[in-house]
Chains A and B, each alone.
Chain A
Amino acid sequence: GEDVEQSLFLSVREGDSSVINCTYTDSSSTYLYWYKQEPGAGLQLLTYIFSNMDMKQDQRLTVLLNKKDKHLSLRIADTQTGDSAIYFCAESSRGNNRKLIWGLGTSLAVNP
């Protein structure tokens, strides 16, 4: 069935780049998403990429998609303490329902 996997934890130093990785199984996914969840807050859409793209850049965020390996990554340049959060990878399911298939989230800790 459909599945999205991520590593659970990542720790980086402030100012370094963070790379959060995700693998998915549904080759028919049309869009892949990165959401951010800060403590006690809802889910904020960071960025998304269409499945026929390889890369998308938005300010400090770079998304890379390797469709052959079904691998998605999110790179955060110049990571700040405010970037500490849980980052979720998600893929859109087939059909009209916009149900998202979610990874379990990667908890990013940024150390001063």
Chain B
Amino acid sequence: EAQVTQNPRYLITVTGKKLTVTCSQNMNHEYMSWYRQDPGLGLRQIYYSMNVEVTDKGDVPEGYKVSRKEKRNFPLILESPSPNQTSLYFCASSPSASAQTQYFGPGTRLLVL
């Protein structure tokens, strides 16, 4: 089944403890992206990747890192999480940067204490 998967789905952590949220797609998509969703602020893009080894900042990249060593995976890294990173995170992928359809993962709900 074609899909975007994220792990974990739910995570409670403490300030400063490094964590990684994984994102994987099995559709051979070139383009991948991370969003965070917050009440009253909607979805905002964190980072995106046009292809392997090509990543760039979105609107709210501070406090996050990403990597794109393989086409299928696009992990989101929080080196030192803070409470303001408590949010619902979505990974998305698309066949290419010019394709019209983005496929979203199920979301990762993160709580930073």
Contacts and interface: CB of A to CB of B under 8 A. Distances in A.
A60 to B, nearest CB: 20
Given A42-B90, A42-B106, A44-B104, A96 B50 contact: yes
A45 B56 contact: no
Contact of B56 (A31, A48, A97): A97
Which of B41, B58, B100: most chain A Cβ within 10 A? B100
How many of chain A's residues touch chain B, expressed as a range?
Answer: 20 to 34
Contacts of A43: 90, 92, 104
B104 A99 contact: no
Contacts of B104: 35, 42-44
A98 B43 contact: no
Which of B41, B56, B97: most chain A Cβ within 10 A? B97
A99 B47 CA distance: 10
Contacts of B98: 96, 98
Contacts of A44: 104
B102 A98 contact: yes
Contacts of B94: 98
B102 A45 contact: yes
Interface residues of B, number: 28
A88 B43 contact: yes
Contacts of A96: 50, 97-98
Nearest to B40: A104
A41 B106 contact: yes
A87 interface: no
Nearest to A103: B42
Which of A41, A45, A90, A92: most chain B Cβ within 10 A? A45
Contacts of A90: 43
13 contacts: A31-B100, A43-B90, A45-B103, A88-B43, A96-B50, A96-B97, A97-B58, A98-B31, A98-B99, A99-B33, A102-B42, A102-B44, A103-B42
Which 8 A-B pairs rank lowest in CB-CB distance, beginning with the nearest?
Answer: A43-B104, A42-B106, A102-B43, A42-B104, A102-B42, A104-B42, A99-B45, A96-B97
